[in-house]
Amino acid sequence: MHVLVTGGAGYIGSHTCLELLQAGCAVTVVDNLCNASRVAVQRVEELGGKRINFVELDLLDLPGLRQVFTQHPDIQAAIHFAGLKAVGESMEQPLRYYQNNLISTLNLCQAMAEHGVKHLVFSSSATVYGTPATSPIREDFPLAPFNPYGHGKLMVEQILRDLHSSDPAWQVVLLRYFNPVGAHPSGRIGEDPRGIPNNLMPYVTQVAAGRHKEVRVFGNDYPTPDGTGVRDYLHVVDLAKGHVQALHHTQQPGVFVYNLGTGRGSSVLEIIRSFAEVNALDIPYRIVARRPGDIAECYADPSLAWQELGWKTEYNLADMCRHAWDWQKNNPNGYPPST
């Protein structure tokens, strides 16, 4: 199978490209490199032992996207990662987020439809659930996002549902995943955020590397075992494998929704302490005020993905912490400049 991967040079995209290569797929990557590195694709090629067709292109460029399909008429499916992804930034720049994330998806679907490609796996998010009343979260829980990033994900889900309603030949998989962390065990590809990280694990690794003084823990008065927020952290390689499973196990038309998570919540302090213990490092942290909009607890019920896709996580929290540090210490400043 020849798969188009949008945003394939990014964190989750690069790991998924490697799993696709190892599954015997041909891969074409489209990425504008606004929050990614060409080097990541080169390293995926080295690890996978196969070439990737790489096209530096913004999905807002519909004519350019059409040309990709024209030049690669054997593309059979797409995995759509490309998009802006910082929750806080989405609240500051909502129009930019809606314009980029919605129009890019519309352009992709338009180009796919014109070339008869109707198999799509979409990178959605647990943010579509908003503030759930209870955990673990099932796919049939109410959907109530509370920031533009989450609203955009839910809008795209609806766009894809409407697309299938208009043309039942479409095979659409919506993957709502929770908190991806870690890196490939080789230490060659990993998370390389631009600027100050928005997520916990890369901030912890950068503190360990001396790039920041301490980890800020936002609130310790939540109704959780240690007072800090609880989230469902899953290894990025497990997540990548979930996309491959979704691609190959969904052969009939329809719209399918799956949570990808471990089914277990870990607190912020648990992550910090596990990272320090596994890697024999000191990770200083400081308790600060809660962030607006943060919730106490959020973790998945991933049983549907296991039942229908045969997918479940293989890596534990210690693996996530070890592999994240292996990546960071081997690449203290992230990916080097592309040559």
d(Cα 320, Cα 298) in Å, to the nearest integer? 19
For residue 224, the SS3 value is: coil
Q: Are 275 and 325 in contact (CB under 8 A)?
A: yes
Length of the chain: 339
Q: Are 53 and 92 in contact (CB under 8 A)?
A: no
Range list of H helices, 23-56:
38-48
Name the catalytic one among 11, 129, 149, 299.
Answer: 149
Distance of CA 87 to the CA centre of its chain: 13
Annotated catalytic, 149? yes
Q: Are 262 and 234 in contact (CB under 8 A)?
A: yes
C-alpha distance from residue 99 to each of 7, 96, 156, 165 (Å): 17, 5, 12, 24
Rounded to the nearest 5°, which phi and psi values hold at 338?
-70, 145
Closest CA to 197 of 176, 211, 178: 211
Torsion of CA 277, 178, 252, 306, to 10 degrees: 50
Q: How many Cβ atoms are within 10 Å of 213's Cβ, its own excluded?
A: 9
Evaluated on CA atoms 231, 184, 29, 305, the torsion sign reads negative
Q: Two tokens at 210?
A: 């001396």
Q: Are 46 and 79 in contact (CB under 8 A)?
A: no
Catalytic positions: 149
